[in-house]
Every structure is written in structure tokens, then in C-alpha cells.
Amino acid sequence: MQNVEVDIFAGEEKSEFAIFLDDQRAFSRLEERRFPELEDLLEICRAKAS
């Protein structure tokens, strides 16, 4: 992957954790009710690269 930019923002809710890719939410801890595993992150990156 080239030219990857990462920004960290405080969410509106205390327990919020989300991953955004090109302003699109790719993972939400609140929706999934868990934190992402490494395989989740790799899948997100692979989907974006294809």
C-alpha cells in the first residue's frame, strides 16, 4: 500500500473505536461488539487495494 495516512480522532461515545478508509467506515467496535483482529485489518486493506 502506498501513501497511507492515519488520523486518530476521539469518538462521540467513550467506548467508540472505528476504522475509516477514505472517509468510509470500514470497522466499528460498537457495531461488531469487539476490537478488530489483525486478520480484520488485513482484510480491510486487501479489499481497498483491489
Amino acid 33: pLDDT: 93
Amino acid 9: pLDDT: 72
Amino acid 16: pLDDT: 82
The DSSP string of 3-46 is S--------SSTT--EEEETTEEEEEHHHHTSPPPHHHHHHHHH
For 1-50, the pLDDT digits (tens) are 567 666 677 777 777 888 888 888 889 998 999 999 999 988 888 887 77
Q: Against a cut of 0.85, is the pTM above it?
A: no
Amino acid 14: pLDDT: 74
